Amino acid sequence: PEPQVPRDPSKKTLVILGTGWGSVSLLKKLDTENYNVVVISPRNYFLFTPLLPSCTTGLIEHRSIMEPIRSICRSKKGPVTFYEAEASSVDVNHKIVKIRDNSDIRGVTTETEVPYDMLVVGVGAENATFGIPGVRENSCFLKEIGDAQQIRKKIMDCVETAAFKDQPEAEIDRLLHMVVVGGGPTGVEFAGELRDFFEDDIRKLIPDIADRFRVTLIEALPNVLPSFSKQLIEYTESTFKEEEITIHTKTMVKKVTDKTVEAEASKPDGTKERIVFPYGLLVWATGNTLRPLVRDMMASIPAQKDSRRGLAVNEYLVVQGARDIWAVGDCAVAGYAPTAQVASQEGTFLARLFNNMAKTAELEDRIQTLSSSLNLKPGVDSASVSREIEDTERKLQRIKDIKPFHYSHQGSLAYIGSEKAVADVSWFNGNVASGGTMTYYFWRSAYLSMVFSTRNRLLVLNDWFKSKLFGRDISRE
Ligand code: FAD
Ligand code: NAD
């Protein structure tokens, strides 16, 4: 099929895959007048993931942390084309992306091709299940808006079913047992939000079953939040004890059925114990794995054969072994953790790089025009033209001296329930670790300042006030 990209032939076509932290940070800072910019993603909005756990209980309404990509595109100086589609494959040799409309409503054309001169891959990652039987069929994940909505619905379904007339005792206990697998920040934050929901709202509204509610967090490693400092790990574990969230560390989930989680716990004497946890809701938060698109790209580029966790990039975020392809965020391996902080700094770096590349091309053209006027046109003031050439060359040199990408870690923050948070923050070249209610206010203000737009900020503030005043809305949609 004919390419549908409305392109200015004098400019290069820059195709950006994804509308997450990496791609949107790039788009935000990119001078879109320099390129034919095409954004492709199955999600027509940016999602502020740090507040996603709060959507699972209705503390924050999901639309408050979504920003439509169309309004981001409209705010740019140069035009940006957006296609709501999934990139299904990339032909790195012919520089073509194949895209597919996977949404519920499809037109006559559902698949087509988009050619590129430059490609940025920012497609993020998928949920890891490590092939453990039953996980995909029976658990909820917590990565996208749909996941948070599903969890919110399921929590209330479990509660209402537990409150059903003549429900046997053992069934009430099962339904009100919420199991979280994975003690990374996602699992910990979700467990904290869940406990708050029960204490703040369910206990008041459905007191007869409230004492039966339990949250269990299962983690394979010896402690939760492995990336935080030791004192914050201890603080989190003791706060969870107060909140009556049971933590099972050194416990590896091996199998999941529709009503039970089967795990193997390592005991201090080195022996293993099999534990079966009956559950009503299971949330699986064991980190990331590669998206099929990224796996296929890695297989088609020989230089990527030793990379396991994503597209290996160099210090300028260029995909190694590929021509004119860059990668950002969770799908790129640049030696940093898969976080929003890293993805957004990488996106901003690429915007600067591409803005500079466009300026470089412009200055090189100018030098060429000036040099030819010097040689060909009689009567030009050759001294002044030579001076201008020298000035332009100096400017060009300055622009060409782009430093490689350097990640600057601002710190890690996590909410742990009961209006407490933990923070490992870089402060004047040192590290400050703090946990508690003050840190919670810091956590709230930091994220409030970081949400995408003023509109999002007002919506989030409004949700917080609304929940404080009237409680969370427990209606099951
Ligand atoms: P994403 O933000 O996941 O975006 C990927 C984009 O690619 C999406 O728009 C997706 O729809 C699109 N896409 C997928 N497949 C295709 C395809 N085939 N073609 C085209 N587009 C595609 N990090 C922090 O630093 N701080 C936090 O507090 C924090 N909290 C988090 C809380 C939760 C619940 C979760 C799940 C993550 C959190 N993270 C946090 C991690 C952070 O969200 C990720 O590291 C970040 O989203 C990675 O950005 P990305 O751009 O690589 O991917
Ligand atoms: P993660 O990779 O940080 O943690 C997953 C945990 O699951 C690991 O501790 C692992 O040991 C455990 N696990 C794996 N398999 C298991 C099994 N079979 N049984 C029991 N436990 C098992 O994953 P995440 O929490 O989803 O975070 C993903 C990324 O997003 C990380 O880089 C994280 O830093 C970032 N993130 C940050 C924040 C924040 O800063 N507040 C919040 C959420 C996510």
All domains of the chain, ordered by start, with CATH? 12-125+290-352 (3.50.50.100), 135-288+408-470 (3.50.50.100)
Structure tokens at 316: 């300028």
Residue with token string 């509660």? 159
Residue 15: what pLDDT? 98
Each residue's pLDDT, cut to its tens digit, for the chain (477 residues) gives 454 556 799 999 999 999 999 999 999 999 999 999 999 999 999 999 999 999 999 999 999 999 999 999 999 999 999 999 999 999 999 999 999 999 999 999 999 999 999 999 999 999 999 999 999 999 999 999 999 999 999 999 999 999 999 999 999 999 999 999 999 999 999 999 999 999 999 999 999 999 999 999 999 999 999 999 999 999 999 999 999 999 999 999 999 999 999 999 999 999 999 999 999 999 999 999 999 999 999 999 999 999 999 999 999 999 999 999 999 999 999 999 999 999 999 999 999 999 999 999 889 999 988 888 877 666 778 888 889 999 999 888 888 888 999 999 999 999 999 999 999 998 877 889 999 999 999 999 999 999 999 999 999 999 999 999 999 999 998
Do 23 and 120 form a contact (C-beta atoms < 8 A)?
yes
Determine the Cα–Cα distance for residues 289 and 297; give it in Å rounded to an integer.
15
Backbone conformation region of residue 221, classed left if phi is above 0, alpha if psi is from -120 to 50, else beta: beta
CA 292 to chain centre: 17
Residue 1: what pLDDT? 47
Determine the Cα–Cα distance for residues 321 and 291; give it in Å rounded to an integer.
19
Instruction: Please tell me whether residue 83 adopts helix, strand or coil conformation.
Output: strand
User: Which one, of 55, 4, 8, lies nearest residue 32 by Cα?
Assistant: 8
Site to substitute for ligand 2 among 138, 180, 219, most atoms within 8 A of C-beta: 219
State ipTM: 0.99
Residue 421: what pLDDT? 98
Question: How close is the Cα of 181 to the center of ligand 2, in Å?
Answer: 9
Question: How close is the Cα of 20 to the center of ligand 1, in Å?
Answer: 5
Question: How close is the Cα of 288 to the center of ligand 2, in Å?
Answer: 8
Query: Ligand 2: which residues within 6 Å by Cβ?
Result: 50, 130, 132, 181-187, 189, 218-221, 226-227, 252-253, 285-288, 337-339, 412-414
Site to substitute for ligand 1 among 59, 123, 325, most atoms within 8 A of C-beta: 123
Residue 6: what pLDDT? 62
Residue 140 DSSP one-character state: B
Task: Looking at the CA of residue 224, tell me the nearest atom of ligand 2.
Answer: 9
**Closest ligand to Cα 423:** 2
With a 6 Å cutoff on the Cβ, whether 253 touches ligand 1 is no
| The length of the chain, given as a count of residues | 477
How many angstroms separate the Cα of 418 from the Cα of each of 185, 242, 244, 326, 434? 16, 10, 11, 42, 16
* Cβ-based neighbour number of residue 336 at 10 Å: 16
Backbone φ, ψ for residue 83 (5° rounding)? -120, 125
Question: How close is the Cα of 134 to the center of ligand 1, in Å?
Answer: 25
Structure tokens at 170: 């053992």
Residue 4: what pLDDT? 52
The sign of the CA dihedral 87, 134, 221, 410 is positive
Residue 401: what pLDDT? 80
With a 6 Å cutoff on the Cβ, whether 186 touches ligand 1 is yes
Question: How close is the Cα of 125 to the center of ligand 1, in Å?
Answer: 7
Residue with token string 């710190």? 411
Determine the Cα–Cα distance for residues 475 and 156; give it in Å rounded to an integer.
8
Residue 378: what pLDDT? 67
